[in-house]
Amino acid sequence: MATAPSKPTTAPVKKESSGNSGAFASLVIPICFVIALLIFIFILGDASHYKGGDVEKGTPVDYFGTVHKGGVIVPVLMTMFLMLIVFSIERLVVIGKASGTGNVDAFVRKVNGFLNTGNIDAASAECDKQKGSVANVIKSGLKKYREMELEPNLDVDQKTLAIQKDIEEATALEMPMLEQNLTIIATLVSIGTLCGLLGTVTGMIKAFKSLAASGSSSSTELATGISEALINTALGILTSALSIIMYNIFTSKIDKLTYAIDETGFSIVQTFAASHKNRERGY
């Protein structure tokens, strides 16, 4: 009966957090596109980057001009790159908060030490100091631990199962917050390369079409057209490579937090089961 009020108050908080994260993602994408488009037009497309100041027909004199010559796919690739930066920073902040104020491994060792000595109050106090998702889940399990100690109508196995279920429910509420927006970074891994190749193909088509129209067989013109087209491939590969790195970093951090929750949750359940079964046997 004591746990009934806590469930309806906890879930809406997580739903609100999920909604905020979804709104954040829906705002970031168009904002990144606008910024990328402005950079493409006013910075990369500035006349100073072209010979004679002719953006339409002039030859690029630096790397900025060469990138600008990559065509309409360039701002799309720049949008993806900006998205990667923004979502990576956002995930670092969220996962950092979820880890808490101190080292997670040290926190888990302290809590397990308190559990081994049966000092539940000290373990709960340590959760208050640590904060974050790991501490929230463990504190929820410890709260259920105390409630089951006062529950007269269940046997030890039923109480143990109730504690385990409470920890699983608390974990299910915390984990989606950590994994949100990771799908966007994972999508950038493949879309970045594909958009880069699309830009290369369209650039090559434009280059050969220009050569065919002029009737010129100049290797310089062809090399220039190919180099402009390959700008898209370079941007796409760079975005995909960085996306893979960031995705693996975040998943490894989340796996570490999940392992810490599982390890401590198992300790809570086993401590309760062992101590109370010994009491039943009169030890």
pLDDT tens digits for 160-204?
999 999 999 999 988 888 888 899 999 999 999 999 999 888 888
Which domain range does residue 257 map to? 73-281
Cβ(165)–Cβ(268) below 8 Å: no
Percent of the chain with pLDDT over 90: 51
Residue 50 bridge partners (DSSP): 60
Q: What is the CA radius of gyration of the chain?
A: 28
Which stretch of 58-67, 120-129, 222-231, 272-281 has the lowest confidence by average pLDDT? 272-281
d(CA 88, CA 86): 5
Whole-number average pLDDT of the chain: 85
Which stretch of 16-30, 103-117, 120-134 has the lowest confidence by average pLDDT? 16-30
**pLDDT of amino acid 247:** 96
| Residue 6 placed within a domain | no
| Residue 151 placed within a domain | yes
| Residue 217 placed within a domain | yes
| Residue 207 placed within a domain | yes
| Residue 59 placed within a domain | no
Q: Is the pLDDT of residue 123 over 90?
A: yes
Q: Which residues contact 18 (CB under 8 A, 6 or more apart)?
A: 176, 177, 180
Q: Is the pLDDT of residue 31 over 90?
A: yes
Angle at 60 between CA 59 and CA 64, to 5 degrees: 165
d(CA 203, CA 227): 9
d(CA 241, CA 233): 12
**pLDDT of amino acid 274:** 84
Total tally of structural domains belonging to the chain: 1
| Residue 65 placed within a domain | no
| pLDDT band with cut points at 50, 70 and 90 for residue 66 | confident
| Residue 214 placed within a domain | yes
SS3 1: coil
| Residue 52 placed within a domain | no
pTM of the model: 0.82
CA 282 to chain centre: 50
